[in-house]
């Protein structure tokens, strides 16, 4: 729906080609184009309308079928309608008295997600602004379980606490590289156990393992079942960052990627990624049934959470959160799930992964393209070698040259506005492209276009 709106808007403005993903300007140029200064007097409505047109015009069209830059893309119309409604009714999800509808909807969505994860006994959860926050909640709860008087006595009474994770985590980085254990982007369970023993031998206290289901760059899945065995043995909290890969659980064909997730203590899952809910829509889910979330974060603000209210105050969910103000993001997922049903969500996941597989096979067929590794999920990572580099022997010099290719191709695609594809280095690996296939609006032709366009933009390098 928004896509149509955007295209119509641009269509009326003949200076902008209809199908550009972005209209690139440097920050200095854009500041001038937008006239950002706020003045004493207000502007006329016609000028304000132009401001709105400009805001759309110069924004990146992330719902364009050739936007592949991030772990979100495309437009889910029902979710967008929910966003509009949530903004229009303008409420705050801390108490039932100001957000009765959204409080119940959040509860319903969380229950359904918990059921899908397979926590038979139920659990708890909260929507919050982004996966990093969800991961922080997990750390808080794991630490609180280990040390329930943490809020009173503070950190100084605690031993040296250790969290173990793989090096390919999203934005949470390893504090000490020797506690990072991974292979092909996946955690190696035997190495994990060695590191737990290492930490203990140094007098530190491992209390939590963070596994990842769908790493940001490679889309790798840690072996949750095997990691759960180790966590049970050592009594460690197991959190899974499934912000990106959690959607695979909706698919009978692909849920094996998350095998064992019903055994973990907590999960971060962002429906705004693969499932295309409007930004932001990010859930933290916990298997605990003892109100750990509430006990850990409660500040008992007496002006919000009066215990002598006339209704059941267990519906005042805001005291579980580190935030005060909180948007009713669950509604954006609830409405689309209601409209589409679980079956359609499943089909979307299956389709996205089938398209990613198509792209990987195309890459293998084409001269000058090389996969970084076989994709496990919807991330397709590859290098493009321009003709001038194709016959060079594999050497550090070649990799050094190759490292410069993706940034130039990226600059050219953005200045042309033809598409957006991300690139990054990874450890010692030279810059490579990362295609992320999500939206059902993406066709095989769009994927062919990407490969042709990369060649066209980079063949002279």
Q: Which residues bind ligand ABU (CB under 6 A)?
A: 70-71, 131, 170-171, 216
Phi and psi dihedrals of 240, rounded to 5? Answer: -115, 120
Distances (CA, A) of 273 to 198, 311, 349, 420, 430: 36, 36, 11, 17, 26
Which residue's CB is nearer to ligand ABU, number 82 or number 420? 420
| Euclidean distance between CA atoms 122 and 126, whole angstroms | 14
We find the least distance from the C-beta atom of residue 102 to ligand ABU, in angstroms, to be: 24
Which residue's CB is nearer to ligand ABU, number 62 or number 79? 62
Asked if 141 and 291 count as a contact pair (C-beta separation under 8 A), the reply is: no
We find the least distance from the C-beta atom of residue 355 to ligand ABU, in angstroms, to be: 18
- Number of helical H runs and strand E runs in the chain: 14, 11
Which residue's CB is nearer to ligand ABU, number 153 or number 171? 171
Upstream peptide bond of 414 is cis (omega within 30 degrees of 0): no
We find the least distance from the C-beta atom of residue 422 to ligand ABU, in angstroms, to be: 6
Phi and psi dihedrals of 277, rounded to 5? Answer: -60, 155
Q: Which residue is nearest to ligand ABU (CB)?
A: 70
Which residue's CB is nearer to ligand ABU, number 231 or number 281? 281
Residues forming a β-bridge with 285: 125, 267
Asked if 134 and 213 count as a contact pair (C-beta separation under 8 A), the reply is: no
Hunting for tokens 């709860």 — which residue is that?
Answer: 141
* Spacing of C-alpha 140 from chain mean position: 20
Which residue's CB is nearer to ligand ABU, number 10 or number 437? 437
Which residue's CB is nearer to ligand ABU, number 199 or number 420? 420
We find the least distance from the C-beta atom of residue 334 to ligand ABU, in angstroms, to be: 22
We find the least distance from the C-beta atom of residue 210 to ligand ABU, in angstroms, to be: 14
Which residues, in sequence order, are CB contacts of 191 under 8 Å at separation 6+?
181, 183
Which residue's CB is nearer to ligand ABU, number 353 or number 385? 353
We find the least distance from the C-beta atom of residue 49 to ligand ABU, in angstroms, to be: 32
Could you give the 3-state DSSP secondary structure of residue 221? strand
We find the least distance from the C-beta atom of residue 273 to ligand ABU, in angstroms, to be: 8
């Amino acid at each position: 729906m928004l896509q149509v709106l955007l295209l119509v808007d641009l269509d009326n403005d003949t200076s902008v080609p209809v199908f550009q993903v972005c209209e690139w300007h440097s920050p200095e140029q854009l500041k001038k184009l937008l006239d950002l200064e706020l003045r004493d007097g207000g502007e006329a409505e016609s000028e304000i309308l132009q401001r709105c047109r400009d805001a759309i015009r110069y924004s990146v069209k992330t719902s364009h079928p050739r936007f592949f830059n991030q772990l979100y893309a495309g437009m889910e119309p029902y979710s967008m309608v929910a966003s509009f409604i949530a903004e229009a009714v303008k409420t705050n999800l801390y108490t039932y008295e100001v957000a009765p509808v959204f409080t119940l909807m959040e509860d319903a969505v969380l229950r359904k997600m918990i059921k899908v994860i397979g926590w038979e006994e139920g659990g708890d959860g909260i929507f919050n602004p982004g996966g990093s926050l969800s991961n922080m909640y997990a750390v808080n709860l794991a630490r609180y379980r280990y040390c329930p008087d943490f809020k009173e006595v503070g950190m100084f009474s605690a031993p040296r606490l250790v969290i173990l994770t793989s090096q390919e985590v999203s934005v949470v980085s390893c504090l000490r590289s020797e506690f990072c254990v991974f292979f092909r982007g996946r955690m190696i369970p035997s190495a994990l156990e060695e590191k737990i023993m290492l930490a203990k031998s140094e007098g530190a206290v491992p209390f939590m393992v963070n596994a990842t289901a769908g790493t940001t760059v490679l889309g790798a899945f840690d072996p949750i079942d095997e990691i759960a065995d180790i966590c049970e043995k050592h009594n460690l909290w197991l959190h899974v960052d499934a912000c990106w890969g959690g959607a695979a659980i909706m698919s009978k064909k692909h849920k094996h990627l998350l095998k064992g997730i019903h055994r973990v203590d907590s999960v971060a899952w962002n429906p705004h990624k693969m499932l295309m809910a409007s930004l932001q829509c990010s859930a933290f889910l916990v298997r605990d049934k003892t109100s750990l979330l509430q006990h850990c974060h409660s500040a008992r603000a007496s002006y919000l959470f009066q215990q002598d209210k006339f209704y059941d105050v267990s519906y005042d969910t805001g005291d579980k959160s580190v935030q005060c103000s909180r948007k009713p993001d669950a509604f954006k997922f609830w409405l689309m799930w209601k409209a589409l049903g679980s079956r359609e969500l499943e089909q979307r996941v299956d389709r996205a992964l089938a398209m990613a597989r198509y792209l990987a096979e195309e890459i293998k067929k084409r001269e000058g393209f090389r996969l970084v590794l076989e994709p496990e999920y919807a991330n397709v990572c590859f290098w493009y070698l321009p003709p001038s580099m194709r016959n060079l022997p594999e050497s550090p010099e070649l990799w050094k040259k190759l490292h410069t290719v993706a940034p130039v191709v990226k600059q050219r695609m953005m200045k042309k506005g033809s598409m957006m594809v991300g690139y990054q280095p990874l450890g010692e690996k030279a810059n490579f492209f990362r295609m992320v296939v999500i939206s059902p609006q993406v066709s095989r032709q769009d994927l062919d276009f990407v490969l042709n366009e990369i060649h066209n933009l980079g063949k002279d390098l």
